[in-house]
Structure 1
Amino acid sequence: MTETVHSTREIEALIPHRWPVLLVDRIIEYDADARRIVGIKGVTATEWFFQGHFPGLPVMPGVLQVEALAQTMAVYVAKQPGFGDRIGLFAGIDDCRFKRVVVPGDTLRLDITMEKLGKRFGRARAVASVDGEVACEATLSFIIPAEGVLR
């Protein structure tokens, strides 16, 4: 079993997402020098989204896989000096591909490698996988609004 670097409670201290939208259970790797973070989402049969996607054939929606990747990226950004409690917002999703269904019982590994991180903008390569098989990959971009814009 992989060591937990940040628990769910610690993730909640870093980003504003909460149940049922919090889609990262724990962080298992964090390397500021390599600009990399890895999160884990245990996909259970009782997930709220399986009620309608799809009855009798539960498949994790691709958009929620992307959201889980984005939340993992948000944890990385929140840990950087100078970002404080500012919230990042999606600016773009490029080159997104879904290559495998994610179903109850899967453990979704959320790998983020930051390509660019400025004071107001960032971009990362994001890969979600199950047992070493890519489920979703994309390049995610975000903006950090100026202080006070969201409040």
Structure 2
Amino acid sequence: MQLDYFQLIDRIVDLDLDEKKITVEAQVPAAHTIFEGHFPGFPIMPGVLLTEAMAQSSGWLLLGLLKFERMPFLAIVKEAKMRGYVSPGQLLTIDAKLEHEGSGFAVTKAKIRVGKELKCSAELTFGLAPFPDPALRVHMDAKAHEIGFPLQAITQ
């Protein structure tokens, strides 16, 4: 994870466009200034960042399903449940699955595990819009390469 750049996904482990699901990994930093205040003596990953990690995972799934033709923007978070603490240094496995897509919106369900232990889950709704600026598309293409997005999955 690169918290300072709000990049919460390290690598794509699996992208299955037929099943409409994705699995990614993210290594929580062992040390970061965010843990100095959240919380002193008991550092844990903020729930809002875990929610954002689920949203970013879902976003990569949607980009693949949309063949990078539209950009997903987080619109609604429902049923977010924090089920356990995430500590510095832990490896997160994040799964997301498309539940519905249509009328300019998409809904996913996502969850984060550490090992086999479920840490959080949420239902996420995204607005789908054309890329607002060509520079953003170039940036997203570069990030896709960086995290191992299987571009062959969208060129078939």
Normalised by the length of structure 1, the TM-score is: 0.78
| Larger mean Cα displacement after TM superposition, 124-133 or 39-48 | 39-48
2:37: which partner in 1?
Answer: 52
1:14: which partner in 2?
Answer: none
**Could you report, residue by residue, the CA deviation over 1:84-139 in whole angstroms, capped at 9, with x for unpaired residues?**
2x432222111111111000121111100110123621001111111111110111
Question: Aligned pair 1:131/2:115, yes or no?
Answer: yes
Structure with the higher fraction of residues in helix conformation = 2
The 3-state SS of whatever aligns with 1:127 is: strand
Normalised by the length of structure 2, the TM-score is: 0.76
2:72: which partner in 1?
Answer: 88
Q: 1:106 aligns with which of 85, 90, 96?
A: 90
Query: What are the ranges of 5 or more consecutive residues in structure 1 without an aligned counterpart?
Result: 1-7, 9-16
CA RMSD of aligned residues (A): 2.4
Give the Å deviation of 1:35.
0.5
1:27: which partner in 2?
Answer: 12
Question: Aligned pair 1:65/2:50, yes or no?
Answer: yes
* Structure 1 consecutive aligned stretches of length 4 or more whose deviation exceeds 4 Å: 146-149
Question: Aligned pair 1:41/2:26, yes or no?
Answer: yes
Checking the alignment, whether the CA contact within 8 Å between 1:20 and 1:48 is kept in structure 2 is no
**Could you report, residue by residue, the CA deviation over 1:22-72 in whole angstroms, capped at 9, with x for unpaired residues?**
000001011011110011111122234213211221100011001001101
Query: What are the ranges of 5 or more consecutive residues in structure 2 without an aligned counterpart?
Result: 137-156
2:144: which partner in 1?
Answer: none
Q: 1:27 to 1:119 in 2, by over 3 A?
A: farther
2:106: which partner in 1?
Answer: 122
